[in-house]
Chains A and B, each alone.
Chain A
Amino acid sequence: GQQVMQIPQYQHVQEGEDFTTYCNSSTTLSNIQWYKQRPGGHPVFLIQLVKSGEVKKQKRLTFQFGEAKKNSSLHITATQTTDVGTYFCAGPMNRDDKIIFGKGTRLHILP
């Protein structure tokens, strides 16, 4: 069945270093969404990408959607302690009303 793979599963970075998580789908996605979940919290919607090759920025966060609409990435520049958490990508399944999440990348910041 349709899968959304996310790598890496865990990432430890020194504060100030950059961080990237990658999301790969087994099928073409009509769109992809990114969420952040702080430890002990609930997922919070960050952004949605719809167009092939789309790039969006939110301050230090850069989101990309691949040309084939099968992969996406989230890049954080100069990480801060507030970036700690798990980042999930999510995309609609074939019928567009179900949604499937990647397993997430847990980011840990070393002071």
Chain B
Amino acid sequence: EAQVTQNPRYLITVTGKKLTVTCSQNMNHEYMSWYRQDPGLGLRQIYYSMNVEVTDKGDVPEGYKVSRKEKRNFPLILESPSPNQTSLYFCASSFSAPPGIGQYFGPGTRLTVT
């Protein structure tokens, strides 16, 4: 089954404790992206990757890091989480850059930073 998986689905952590949210897709997609969703603000792109070893900043990259060492995986790293990073996070992938085709979204990771 074609899918994007994220782990963990729920996470409660404390300020400053490094964490990683994993994202994996099994569709051999080139383009992968991370979004955060906040009430009233919609979906905002954090980082995206056009292919292996190619990453770029989205709209709200501050406080986040990503890596793309393999085509299928695109982890999101919060080196020192802060309460303003409490949000619902979605990973997404598409065959090529979004103009070419729609994105598949993962189920989401709800992160709370206290």
- What residues of B have a CB within 8 angstroms of the CB of A102 in the complex? 42
**Interface residue ranges of A61-111 to B (CB < 8 Å):** 88, 90, 92, 96-104
Contact indicator A43/B90 (Cβ below 8 Å) = yes
A-B interface contact total, Cβ < 8 Å: 65
Chain B nearest CB, measured from A108 CB (Å): 16
- What residues of A have a CB within 8 angstroms of the CB of B40 in the complex? 103
Quick one: given A42-B106, A98-B59, A99-B33, are A48 and B43 in contact (CB under 8 Å)?
no
Q: Point out the residue from A6, A47, A97 that lies within 8 Å of B48, measured CB to CB.
A: A97
Contact indicator B90/A31 (Cβ below 8 Å) = no
**Interface residue ranges of B21-66 to A (CB < 8 Å):** 31, 33, 35, 40-45, 48, 50, 56, 58-59
Extra pairs beyond A31-B99, A43-B43, A92-B99 (14, CB < 8 Å): A33-B102, A42-B107, A47-B102, A88-B43, A97-B48, A97-B50, A97-B99, A98-B58, A100-B45, A100-B59, A101-B35, A101-B42, A101-B43, A103-B42
